[in-house]
Structure 1
C-alpha cells in the first residue's frame, strides 16, 4: 500500500509543477503538450525491456531500484536549467515510472496469490489516494512559496525511502506456471486480448480526464462553478470503485466483476450523452468512474496468472497497451469532436465499454485460474 501511495504522490508532484515548467521555460501550449508526451513516450518504450528485467532480478529488487530511480528523475525534472535538458529528463521520468509501476504490480500479484483473496483493486485505490494527497500537498507548498526543487527533493526522499525500506516485507515472486507449446500459444493470444482491452479501457479513462470539463461547459450547459464537477464526479467514482472492488471480485469473480463494471460504465456514459443536463451528466460520469475503476486491476491480475509468462512480463505488455490508450484516447475523441460533435466523440467511449462487457468476461474467465 505504501509503494502504491508514493507512486501516485510522485506522479502528482510532476502534475502540480507542469505550470511551473511552462512558466520557467516560456513554453507555448503546443510545446508543453509535446513535453508532456515525453513522459508517456518514456514509459511506453521502457515497458518491453522492463518486464524482462524484472522477471530476471525479481520484483523486490525492482521496487527498490525503481523507487530510487523515480525519486532521482523527479528531482531532475525541476533541476534542469535548459529546455533541451528537460526533455531527456522527462523521458527518464517516464521510464522510471514504468519500472516502479510494473514492479509494484508484479509484487501485488504475488501477494494476492498467497493471500488467496483479492487485494489488487484496493492497492490501485491507494495509488489514486496518493495522487489526491500529492496534489493537495503540492498546492499547499506552492501557496506557501516553497521552492519547487525543494518539494521535488522531499518527495524523492520519501519515494526512495519507501522503496528501499520495502525490502524487509516484500515476498519472493511466485514461480511461472509450466506450459506446453499449445498453452504458450494460448497465453500469447490472451496477452493480445488483454492488451486490447486495456487499450480500450484506458481510451475511455483518458477521455474522461480530459473532456468531462469541456462536456459540462459546452454540452451540458452547466453553470461556471459546476464545470470542474464532471472531473470530480468521475474521479470520485473511480476512488469508491477501487476501494470496494475487491469485495466485488471476491463475491462475483474477476470475470463477473469485469462484465458488471463495463456495463455500468456503458450505462453511465450513455446517460450523460442521451440526457445532457448537468445533474444527469454528473451521475453518468460518476457511474463511468465506478465502472472503469477495476478494469486495469483485473487485467493486470489476469496477465500475471498466464501459464508460461512471468508475471512482470505479462503485466508490462498489458500496461504498454494501456499507456498507449491513455495517451491516444483524448486525441482520438478530440478528432471526432472536431469533425462532428463531442457527443459523438464520447460515443466511442460507450462503444469501447460495450465491447469489453461483451468480450472481456469471456477472455478473463478463460485464462484466469481462479
Structure 2
C-alpha cells in the first residue's frame, strides 16, 4: 500500500491522528526552546545575537504563509501537513550542528517556514472537523499541542541533566516524531484540494478580519517570546540550573494544557470574545508575578498563571478564521505565527538593551492590548 493512501482504520485511531499532529508540533517547539541555553553557550551568543538568529524564524514564517495557502489549494491539508512535517523533522537536527550565527539564522528560517506551513495545514484540518462536528473542538486540539510542549520540555530537561548534546537530543526526537508523522498521515482521510486552486491563495486580513489578525499577532508575540525566553529568564535572571530551567517552561506549558482542556466549554458558556479578553488580563497578572518574583518557585507560579491566560487566544482565533475559509485562515495565521516567531528576537533586543524585567514587562503590556482588541472583534464569537 502506498504512503499516499490511508489504510482502513478503526475510528479510535482516526480520532487520534490529528491530535498526534498537534503533539508533534508542540514537541518540536519545546525541544528547540528547552535547549536554547545550551545552544547559546555552545556558540557564545549574546542576547542581541540570539535575538537576530530567532528573527530568522519570523522571516521564514512571514514568507511561507503564501506557500502554505498554495499547498492547501493544490494538495489538500493532509498532504501539506506531510510535506511541511518532513521539513520540520529534517531541519531540527541541523540546528545542533550549525557552527556560527548566520548559519543558525538560516536553519531557524527553515524551521520557521516549515512550522508555519505545518501549523496552517493541521489547523485547516481541525477547522473542517469542527464544522463537521457542529461544536467547539479547536481548544481541545490545541490542548494536544500543549501535551507536546509539556512533554518536550520535560524531555529537554532530562536531556540537559544527562549531559546529552543538542545534536543527539534533536536526532532522537526527530526519529521518534518521524514515525508519528507517517502513521498519522496514513490514518487521516484523504481531502480534496481547494476548488479555488489557481485563483487567490493568500491575502492579508481585511475588514472584520483585521481585528483577528491583530489579536493573533499580539497574542503570538507573548506566547512565542515566552516559549523561547522562559528558560533563559530563569537561567540568567534567577540563576536556575540548565536542567531546572526547562521545568519552568514545562509548568507554563502544563498550565496551557489544563486551560485548553476546559477551553471549549468556557467558550460555549461565555463566548470567545469575553474568554480571550479575560484570559489575556490573567496573563498580564501572571507576568507581573514573574517579574516581581524573588525566587525560582514564585516565578514558576507567575508563569503558570501566564500559561492559563494565553491558552485561549489561538483556539478561538483559528476557529473564527476557519469559519471564513482557508484563505482567511492563512491570512490570520500570517500575522499570528509571524508574531510568534518575531516576538523572540524583539525580546532579545529589549533584554540586551534594558534587561529581563523590561522585556517581561513589555509582554504584560502586550497582553493588555490583546484584551482590549478582543472586545472590538465582532467575528470572535
TM-score (norm 2): 0.73
Structure 2 regions of 5+ residues with no counterpart? 1-18, 197-202
- The answer to whether 1:65 aligns with 2:79 is no
Q: Which has the higher helix share?
A: 1
Match of 1:119 in 2: 137
Match of 1:89 in 2: 107
- The answer to whether 1:358 aligns with 2:358 is no
Decide which of 281, 306, 310 is 1:288's aligned counterpart: 306
Match of 1:45 in 2: 63
Q: How far, CA to CA, are the matches of 1:110 and 1:211 in structure 2?
A: 34
CA contact (8 A) 1:194 1:303 kept: yes
CA contact (8 A) 2:293 2:299 kept: yes
CA contact (8 A) 2:59 2:109 kept: yes
Match of 2:267 in 1: 249
TM-score (norm 1): 0.75
Q: How far, CA to CA, are the matches of 2:287 and 2:54 in structure 1?
A: 27
Q: How far, CA to CA, are the matches of 1:224 and 1:321 in structure 2?
A: 30
| 1:189-200 matches, cutoff 5 A | 189-200=207-218
Change (3 A) 1:75 1:235: closer
CA contact (8 A) 1:306 1:367 kept: no
Over the aligned positions, Cα root-mean-square deviation in angstroms equals 4.1
Q: How far, CA to CA, are the matches of 1:187 and 1:155 in structure 2?
A: 36
Match of 1:367 in 2: 379
CA contact (8 A) 2:205 2:328 kept: no
Offset from partner CA, 1:282-324 (integer Å, 9 cap, x none): 65543332121111221122222226x5355234324344325
- The answer to whether 1:15 aligns with 2:29 is no
Q: How far, CA to CA, are the matches of 1:120 and 1:356 in structure 2?
A: 20
Structure 1 regions of 5+ residues with no counterpart? 178-184
- Secondary structure of 1:118's aligned partner: coil
Q: How far, CA to CA, are the matches of 2:214 and 2:95 in structure 1?
A: 32
The CA deviation at 1:9 is: 1.4
Count of residues in correspondence between the two structures: 350
Rg (Cα) greater in structure: 1
Match of 1:317 in 2: 334
Match of 2:347 in 1: 330
CA contact (8 A) 2:277 2:374 kept: yes
Change (3 A) 1:171 1:42: same
Change (3 A) 1:322 1:120: farther
The CA deviation at 1:126 is: 1.9
CA contact (8 A) 1:217 1:224 kept: yes
Q: How far, CA to CA, are the matches of 2:26 and 2:107 in structure 1?
A: 19
